[in-house]
Structure 1
């Protein structure tokens, strides 16, 4: 991706980075992507970390609510303070819900602006962005042909427990926060997530096993039972994040991100549309 090819702006109030296919817009599919709360934590930073170079598709990176241009006053520090007060009700729940809800209007405006073809889309998300991708699939408003979930949130309760262990605190669950957890338990909602016929899980070798790797394995098994094509790749040396702090502006691609990018390009080339072009070696396994 170069500065010249990337288009930035807002659509239906959502900040975006759009990268057109090198072959032009005619008949090219679309990949919608959402970033992490950790680095890369903005749409521009994710576009630099995972440019999906060589994929003949529109790549649309959408900013999460309360991030980037929509950070609360005080930026990342203010966001973290909201998380310390109640991560589920202040951050995970409302951010994921709003991002999933605003995706449709943003997509409609972007399609009118850029002339996307009418057809199945791909979705890509990192951490909380992966939850948004799964909510979009489960919501049924889009025909999603392929998904790539990186450092995925598969079961919110497991993620909250992991964060609690890191901080030395126990999260005080309430009925409202448990309702959010049920909405973001994608293992329990596997029947809805299975409407996407091909899902790849990419996890870091150094990411927390109980919070991320084990739930991803459970979700993969549930999807496979429903005849979804699945893959799970553990990236050596990768933690949860795959960009350097602060992860707000575009930055040089780290080796782990380059491997995630390669895996994502290969997956979308296989399953978003078989005729899509791809470069580099194939997906292992």
Structure 2
């Protein structure tokens, strides 16, 4: 879904939803319209959601989680979103929505945040600014959240461990900060988020702060705690503050 303002003076912003509310491109556009930002907004549906939902819908996703949350859920959804992004950018260029090589803005919530962080680390598309909200920090964090929510133990294998090594971005912050200049990155964290490991997120923030400082771009990384915000933030009192901070970041860093 695309939202086009009357006047466009900034590069496009691509936005990914998460597994919970908002859990579709339509719901994310309603929750975060970003009308203040004079940029084309492109709301992407994650793989296995919306029109690409598997037969059985959410029940099938639950079955996949119980069978192998890493290889049957995280891999096709999060890694699938990362793999699709270059084609999205090429389409925007072909449609005249942006110049070739121009840096896009990127937003991601929860699992969409994991896709965003990995996209920053892998440099497959140029990204100028980004905001993650209550993000998973990689497969290890997603498995931890699954185990916490279900009480089940995840059976790691060689393929899932390799996927964790690639996707756990706390170990890849030097890659994220290696662009010149590094992407302007804001991490928004809900004070009442009981899904994502707060310790894991703090470790990522500390590592990013060091990497951005080493790149002489400390001002281009910030983190912010949104008071009274749970993991699923749409239609919550904190939604207005999320809108304000996200819009302000993309206005400051096109």
Question: TM-score of the superposition, structure 2-length normalised?
Answer: 0.89
> Runs ≥4 in structure 1, deviation > 3 angstroms?
none
Cα deviation per residue 1:196-250 (whole Å; 9 max; x = unaligned)?
43211111111138x432222222221221224222222222211123xxxxxxx
Which residue number corresponds to residue 156 of structure 2? 173
Which residue number corresponds to residue 190 of structure 2? 204
Cα 1:82–1:204 change in 2 (3 A) is same
**Where do residues 62-211 of structure 1 align in structure 2 (5 Å cutoff)?**
62-118=44-100, 119-194=102-177, 195=179, 196-208=182-194, 211=196
**Where do residues 234-253 of structure 1 align in structure 2 (5 Å cutoff)?**
234-243=225-234, 253=235
Single out whichever of 160-169 and 112-121 deviates more from structure 2: 112-121
Structure 2: segments with no counterpart, 5+ residues: 213-217
The CA deviation at 1:162 is: 2.8
Cα deviation per residue 1:122-173 (whole Å; 9 max; x = unaligned)?
1110011011112222221222111101111114313312321221111111
Cα deviation per residue 1:53-77 (whole Å; 9 max; x = unaligned)?
2111111111110001111111112
Cα RMSD (Å): 1.7
Please give the alpha-carbon distance, in whole angstroms, between the structure 1 residues aligned to 2:247 and 2:21.
20
Secondary structure of the structure 2 residue equivalent to 1:122: strand
Please give the alpha-carbon distance, in whole angstroms, between the structure 1 residues aligned to 2:176 and 2:159.
23
Which structure ranks higher in relative contact order (CA pairs < 8 Å, sequence separation ≥ 6)? 1
Which residue number corresponds to residue 226 of structure 1? 211
The CA deviation at 1:92 is: 0.6
Aligned length: 244
Select 1:30's aligned residue among 3, 9, 12. 12
Checking the alignment, whether the CA contact within 8 Å between 2:108 and 2:114 is kept in structure 1 is yes
Which residue number corresponds to residue 4 of structure 2? 20
The CA deviation at 1:111 is: 2.9
Please give the alpha-carbon distance, in whole angstroms, between the structure 2 residues aligned to 1:266 and 1:28.
13
The CA deviation at 1:262 is: 1.1
Cα deviation per residue 1:83-110 (whole Å; 9 max; x = unaligned)?
1111111011221121111111122123
Checking the alignment, whether the CA contact within 8 Å between 1:122 and 1:147 is kept in structure 2 is yes
Single out whichever of 173-182 and 150-159 deviates more from structure 2: 150-159
Please give the alpha-carbon distance, in whole angstroms, between the structure 1 residues aligned to 2:90 and 2:33.
23
The CA deviation at 1:114 is: 4.5
- Which has a greater percent of helix? 2
